[in-house]
Amino acid sequence: MPDKFAFLFHGQGQLPSDVPTLSPELARLYETVEAQGMDIRDWISRGNLARLTATEVAQPAVFLDSLARCDALRRHGVEAHAVSGHSLGEYAALVAAGVLSAASALALVTRRGRLMAGVPGGMAALLKLDLGTVTRICAAGAGCLVIANYNGPAQFVVSGRLDALADAERLAVECGGRAVRLAVSGPFHSPFMRPAEDGLAPFIAKTLFAAPSIPFVSSASGRVEVNAEAVRNLLATQITSAVRWTDALRALGDLGVTDAIEVGAGNVLTQLGKQAGSGIRFHSFEEVLHAGV
The pLDDT tens digits for 6-45 are 999 999 988 898 888 899 999 999 999 999 999 999 999 9
Residue 99 lies in a domain: yes
Q: Name the domain boundary from 181, 204, 228.
A: 181
Instruction: Tell whether the torsion through CA atoms of 26, 28, 31 and 33 is positive or negative.
Output: negative
Question: Do 161 and 215 fall into the same domain?
Answer: no
CA 53 centroid distance within chain = 15
First-to-last alpha carbon distance for the chain, in angstroms, is 16
Residue 62 lies in a domain: yes
Residue 282 lies in a domain: yes
Residue 72 lies in a domain: yes
Helix (H), strand (E) at residue 46? helix 40-46
The pairing of strands 122-127 and 155-160 is antiparallel
CB atoms within 10 A of CB 181: 13
Per-residue pLDDT for 49 more than 90? no
Query: What percentage of the chain reaches a pLDDT higher than 90?
Result: 84
Euclidean distance between CA atoms 276 and 127, whole angstroms: 14
CB atoms within 10 A of CB 17: 12
CB-based burial label for 274 (10 Å; 0-12, 13-18, 19+): middle
Domain CATH for 58: 3.40.366.10
Supply the pLDDT for residue 292: 60
Residue 134 lies in a domain: yes
Euclidean distance between CA atoms 47 and 127, whole angstroms: 29
Of 155, 158, 120, 112, whose CA–CA distance to 139 is shortest? 158
pLDDT greater at residue 277 or residue 116: 116
Question: Do 101 and 9 fall into the same domain?
Answer: yes
Question: Do 80 and 198 fall into the same domain?
Answer: yes
Question: Do 108 and 61 fall into the same domain?
Answer: yes
Q: What pLDDT digit, counting tens, does each position of 247-289 carry?
A: 999 999 999 999 999 999 889 999 999 887 778 999 999 888 8
Supply the pLDDT for residue 293: 62
Count up the domains in the chain and report the number: 2
Supply the pLDDT for residue 291: 67
CB-based burial label for 280 (10 Å; 0-12, 13-18, 19+): buried
Supply the pLDDT for residue 199: 97
Q: SS3 of 97, please?
A: coil
Per-residue pLDDT for 1 more than 60? no
Residue 186 lies in a domain: no
Question: Do 59 and 133 fall into the same domain?
Answer: no
Euclidean distance between CA atoms 68 and 57, whole angstroms: 17
Model pTM score: 0.95
Supply the pLDDT for residue 260: 96
Average the pLDDT over 89-112 and give the result: 98
Question: Do 251 and 217 fall into the same domain?
Answer: yes
Q: What is the residue range of 218's domain?
A: 5-118+191-291
Question: Do 63 and 206 fall into the same domain?
Answer: yes
Q: What pLDDT digit, counting tens, does each position of 213-226 carry?
A: 999 999 999 999 99
* CA distances to 94, 109, 130, 271, 289 from 10, in Å: 13, 14, 23, 12, 17
Question: Do 284 and 213 fall into the same domain?
Answer: yes
Supply the pLDDT for residue 256: 95
Euclidean distance between CA atoms 288 and 184, whole angstroms: 29
Of 28, 7, 4, whose CA–CA distance to 72 is shortest? 7
Supply the pLDDT for residue 266: 85
Domain CATH for 145: 3.30.70.250
Question: Do 255 and 136 fall into the same domain?
Answer: no
Is the separation of the CB atoms in 233 and 259 below 8 Å? Answer: no
Say which range, 12-21, 58-67, 167-176, 196-205, has the weakest mean pLDDT: 12-21
Q: Name the domain boundary from 181, 200, 218.
A: 181
Question: What's the chain's average pLDDT?
Answer: 94
Query: What percentage of the chain reaches a pLDDT higher than 70?
Result: 98
Supply the pLDDT for residue 143: 86
Question: Do 84 and 135 fall into the same domain?
Answer: no
Q: Name the domain boundary from 133, 162, 181.
A: 181
Residue 268 lies in a domain: yes
Residue numbers annotated as active site: 87, 189
Question: Do 202 and 280 fall into the same domain?
Answer: yes
Question: Do 146 and 76 fall into the same domain?
Answer: no
